[in-house]
Amino acid sequence: MKRIVGLDSLRAMAALWVMIGHGAVPPITAGHDESSFFPWAFNGIYGGSFSGPAAVIVFFVISGFCVHYPYSCHKKFNLGEFFVRRYLRILLPMAAAILIIRAVGYIPWDSPRLLSGIPGWSLVAELIYYSLYPLLVIIGQRVKWINLFYITFIIGIFFAFTVPINNINYPAWGYRGDWILGLPCWLLGILLAESLKNPLPNPTSSSIWTWRIGAIILGSITRNLAFQRIIGNHLTLNFFAIYVFFWLLREISYYNKQENKPLAFLEWAGLWSYSLFLIHPLAFYLFKSMELPSFGYMVDWFLKFNFVLLLSIAFYFAVEKPSHLLSRRIGQMLTIKPSQS
C-alpha cells in the first residue's frame, strides 16, 4: 500500500482553522473605528472567514479516506483490530482531555455534560462512523458507493430541514443526530479512496492554489451566511463537502508526484493535529487564567497562538502518541494467528 503524502498537512491546516475560528483570529481589525459601514462590514466578513465548521467537514472527508484506503488496497479486514485501533486512538486522548479539563477547573466535575469543553459533536460522529463502517462496506458493495452517497446526501438534506433554515450551527440535533447530516461527507472520503483506482487529474502548482483559495472562500461564505442568519451551515456544508472531494483528489494527485513535496513542518504538525483539535478550548482557558499584562493586540495574539500550539504538542507526546502506539500494539496482537502444534 502506497503512503499518501500531503494529507497530514491538510489535517494540520484544518485543525489550525478550527482553533483560529474558535478564538484566535488575528486581530488585524482590533481597535479600528467601526462606526461607518465599510469598516463594520469588513470586520464582520473577516471575523467569519475562519470557518471552523467548514474545516470539520475537511476532517470528515479525510477521515473517511484514511479509514477506507488500506482496505481499498486489499488489506485484509480484521474486525477486532479495526475497532480497537480506531476506538482507542480517539477515546484515550478524549478521556484524558475530559479529566484534565475538570482537574484544572475549566468544567466542574459535576457537570451533567460529559463532553463539555471539547469539540465533542464531531468526535461522537467519528465514533459512530467507525461503528458503521463494516456495515457500510457490505451495503456499498451491493449498491455501489456512489449510490450510497446519493442516498445519504438526500437523507441529510431532508434531515437538515427539520430545523430553521437560518439556524447558525452545523451541529443542531445533539450527539444522537448530528452524525446523520455528516455521514455523506464521511462517505465522500471513501469515494475518494475508491477514486485512486482510476486515472487522476494532473494539477499544476497554480491550479492547486486556486483550489485551496477556493476552499477558503467557500468556507468563509458559508460561515458569513450563517452568521447573518441567511442560511445555516447545516444546509450549505454538505455541498461544500463535494467541493472538498474534488479538491482533495487534486491534492493527492499533486503531492504524490515525486517532484512535489509538502512542507515537512506541516506534515509533522499533522501528527498532533488531533491534540490541537481536542484541547485548544482548554488551552484558551489556561492562557486567559494566567492573566498576563497586555502587550498590544498582535503580541497578545502571538503569545496566545503559540501557547495553544505548545500545549497541543505536549499533549501529543504525553497522551496521543502513546495512545496510538498502544492501539497499534493491541491491534497487532489481535491479528496474530496462533501457532499450530
So what's the pLDDT on residue 334?
84
Residue 308 and residue 287 in contact, taking contact as beta carbons nearer than 8 Å: yes
So what's the pLDDT on residue 141?
87
Cα 59 to Cα 244: distance, rounded to the nearest angstrom: 10
Cα 26 to Cα 138: distance, rounded to the nearest angstrom: 46
Residue 125 and residue 64 in contact, taking contact as beta carbons nearer than 8 Å: no
| DSSP secondary structure letters along 303-321 | HHHHHHHHHHHHHIIIIIH
Number of Cβ atoms within 10 Å of the Cβ of 2: 8
Name residue 18's amino acid: V
So what's the pLDDT on residue 340?
46
| DSSP secondary structure letters along 77-118 | P-HHHHHHHHHHHHHHHHHHHHHHHHHTTSS-TT-S-TTTTS
Cα 86 to Cα 71: distance, rounded to the nearest angstrom: 14
C-alpha cell at 40: 463594520
DSSP category for residue 295: -
Cα 10 to Cα 323: distance, rounded to the nearest angstrom: 22
On the 0-12 / 13-18 / 19+ scale of CB atoms within 10 A, 79 is exposed
Cα 245 to Cα 237: distance, rounded to the nearest angstrom: 12
Cα 9 to Cα 265: distance, rounded to the nearest angstrom: 8
- Per-residue confidence in pLDDT tens, the chain, 341 aa: 678 889 999 999 999 999 998 888 888 777 666 666 677 677 777 777 788 899 999 999 999 999 999 998 888 889 999 999 999 999 999 999 999 999 999 999 988 888 889 988 999 999 999 999 999 999 998 999 999 999 999 999 988 888 878 777 777 777 778 899 999 999 999 999 999 988 889 999 999 999 999 999 999 999 888 887 888 888 899 999 999 999 999 999 998 876 778 899 999 999 999 999 999 999 999 999 999 998 888 999 999 999 999 999 999 999 999 999 999 999 888 877 655 44
Number of Cβ atoms within 10 Å of the Cβ of 316: 23
Q: Which residues of 283-314 are buried (b: 16+ CB within 10 A; e: fewer)?
A: bbbbbeeeeeeeeeeeebbeebbebbbebbbe
Calculate the alpha carbon distances from 242 to 61, 141, 217, 221 in Å: 9, 21, 15, 15
Cα 165 to Cα 172: distance, rounded to the nearest angstrom: 11
- CA-based torsion, 180, 250, 76, 91: positive or negative: negative
Residue 50 and residue 21 in contact, taking contact as beta carbons nearer than 8 Å: yes
Domain ranges, ordered by start, for the chain: 7-335
The pTM assigned to this predicted structure is: 0.92
Which helix or strand (DSSP H or E) is residue 131 part of? helix 120-143
So what's the pLDDT on residue 97?
97
C-alpha cell at 292: 498576563
